Amino acid sequence: MSFPILGDIPKSVVMLGSVLLLDILIIFLLFKEFKLTSFDPSMAAAIGIPVLAVHYILMGLVSVTTVSAFDSVGAILVVAMLIAPGATAYLLTDRYKVMLLLSGVIDVFDSIIGYYGAKMFDVSISGAMAVAAGLVFFIVWMLSPKYGLISRFLNQRLTEE
- Collect all residues with Cβ–Cβ distance below 8 Å to 113 and sequence separation of at least 6: 129, 132, 136
Identify whether residues 79 and 140 lie together within a single domain: yes
pLDDT digits (tens, 9 = 90+) for 70-91: 888 888 899 999 999 999 999 9
How many alpha carbons lie under 13 Å from residue 48 in its C-beta half-sphere?
0
Specify the pLDDT at position 18: 94
Distances (CA, A) of 127 to 13, 69, 77, 138, 157: 20, 15, 7, 16, 38
Amino acid 145: pLDDT = 87
pLDDT of residue 14: 87
Question: Which pLDDT score is estimated for 153?
Answer: 87
Same domain assignment for residues 79 and 67: no
> Could you list the residue range(s) of the whole structural domain that residue 53 is in?
1-73
**Alpha-carbon distance 74 to 66, whole Å?**
10
What is the spatial distance between Cα 69 and Cα 134, in angstroms, rounded to a whole number? 19
pLDDT for 90 equals 94
Based on the domain organization, do 25 and 66 belong to the same domain? yes
Query: For residue 27, what pLDDT is reported?
Result: 94
Q: Which of 11, 38, 73 is the last residue of a domain?
A: 73
Q: Which pLDDT score, from 0 to 100, does residue 157 have? A: 82
Structure confidence at residue 156 (pLDDT): 84
The conformation of residue 50, written as its DSSP 8-state character, comes to -
Domain final position from 41, 73, 105: 73
CA nearest 19: which of 57, 55, 67?
67
pLDDT < 70 stretches in the chain = 161
Segment 28-51, tens digit of pLDDT: 999 999 999 998 999 999 999 999
110 plus 141 within the same structural domain: yes
78 and 152 both lie in a single domain? yes
How much is the pLDDT for 12? Answer: 87
Q: What is the pLDDT of residue 139?
A: 96
How many folded domains does the chain comprise? Answer: 2
- Residue finishing a domain among 73, 92, 112: 73
